[in-house]
Amino acid sequence: MYKVYLKQAWQMLKEDKVISIITILGTALAITMIMVIILTQRIKTTNIGAEVNRERTMYITYVIEKGKKSGYTNINPLNVDNYKQYLSLLSTPEKISLIMKYQDGVCVEGNDTYYKADIKYTDAAYWNIYSFSFISGKPFAEGEFQSGVPLAVISKSMARKLFNDTNAALGKTFILNKKAYKVIGIVNDVPTLCLYAYAQIWVPYTSTSYNDPNYNAYKAIVLAKNKSDFLKIKSEVRRSEIANNLQPDKKEIWFFGPFTDEELLIKGQGNSDANEPDYLKGRLRFFLTIIVLLLIPAINLSGFSMFKIINRTSEIGIRRAFGADKKTILMQILYENFLTSIIGGIIGLVLSSMAVILVKDRLFGHADWMSSDLLGENTIPISAFISPWVFFYVFLACVLLNLLSSGIPAWRASKLNIVEAIKN
């Protein structure tokens, strides 16, 4: 019986080609739009590339000082002194790291040709928060970091640019800020979408002049043991603000964060407001956008479904006259619409994957502290754009809306008086 329904549904699709194509494209485009929105959000907040612990990672991006009497407000990125005084001794996190990004010129000793490179100045704990794929060598250790030894980890593409051969780069030196750095590790390129893991060269900040306690350009990365520790970490940071403030009678100090990736995405990376992100409002806005994008094609498709049902009213009356019950007629029409949804869903999945890949640079722009002049690429594997569960839920929502848009007119038509249906 079900095979017969499918054959009849396929035959009906071929008979009214224009309406069928419009219906299929409407479903496909609805799925494409929603998939692009969800995947864009998902890729920025879920584990990807070297950032394998995003679900356990929090970020502190600014330190905010407010004068109690004068009312002045100073908002600056963290410095080493802030980190040591307020954050380095936090006990709740599993790891905490201090990082700074800067773009500078590097060259090989004896060669006057300088290459621009994205440099990440960081510490030894950093290598335990992110997961890099080492081609050869290793990261700098805690003792090397504390000693300020000029060591460096470089990306595969930078090794090829500086030394023409990735395998020959290990152990060689290059010049950065008039200082010779020895290459101790080479890693596969990190996509720029991994904002905090990405760089082309990683060096200890203790080996540079940026180790000045008052140099304001850093961010703190906080790795929680579990997601359930987020509130504990926030509370400990708030307690540290009060306990370690050396001038509590003159000024107040608090940090912008710690926030998760999703909270920063809702609030905006560049927003220095100390208030907590309106997490519930942000999620509600996101879901309302999805609902609107689903309802618009559903309303349009229901119009086409009604048009098809009206044109088939006499056919329904004749079938009723020959003994077909309401359930049989209803099931056949629903099968037609289900077949339309399947075809539209497959096309929508292909289109959404193509759309994200083709416009990934525009979708995943760098509208935050990392700036828009990064030299690397978003070399994200295609598998990151394809989420079976996201597609399943979006497809299921579209199928339900399509079934409703066709089911209600079909149910009304099946209840028509046989004589009236034949007359129509």
pLDDT in tens, 5-20: 566 666 666 666 777 7
183 and 218 fall within a common domain: yes
36 or 138: whose pLDDT is higher?
138
Q: Judge whether residue 28 has pLDDT over 90.
A: no
Strands (DSSP E) along 298-364, which ranges? none
Q: Judge whether residue 270 has pLDDT over 60.
A: no
User: Residue 366's pLDDT band (boundaries 50, 70, 90)?
Assistant: very low
How many helices (H) does the chain have, and how many strands (E)? 14, 12
**Average pLDDT over the chain, rounded to whole?**
80
- Specify if 274 maps to a domain: no
- Looking at 28-37, 219-228, 415-424, which range is the least confident one? 415-424
Q: What is the mean pLDDT of residues 95-105?
A: 93
163 and 65 fall within a common domain: yes
Confidence (pLDDT) at 82: 92
92 and 16 fall within a common domain: no
381: number of Cβ within 10 Å: 10
- Specify if 273 maps to a domain: no
Buried b (16+ CB within 10 A) or exposed e, 352-373: bbebbeeebeebbebeeebeee
User: Residue 370's pLDDT band (boundaries 50, 70, 90)?
Assistant: very low
| 275 beta partners | none
Residue 338's nearest CA partner among 271, 421, 396, 254 is 396
- 217, 243, 267 — which closes off a domain? 267
> What is the rounded CA–CA span in Å between residue 338 and residue 333?
9
CB 270 within 8 A of CB 369: yes
> What is the rounded CA–CA span in Å between residue 207 and residue 145?
8
Q: Judge whether residue 316 has pLDDT over 90.
A: no
Q: What is the mean pLDDT of residues 120-141?
A: 95
Q: What is the mean pLDDT of residues 104-117?
A: 88
- Specify if 272 maps to a domain: no
**Domain coverage including residue 400:** 2-48+280-423
Number of structural domains, the chain? 2
- 267, 293, 316 — which closes off a domain? 267
Confidence (pLDDT) at 374: 72
- Looking at 184-198, 247-261, 389-403, which range is the least confident one? 389-403
- Specify if 208 maps to a domain: yes
Confidence (pLDDT) at 119: 95
144 and 162 fall within a common domain: yes
- Looking at 41-45, 80-84, 118-122, 158-162, which range is the least confident one? 41-45
42 and 142 fall within a common domain: no
Confidence (pLDDT) at 117: 93
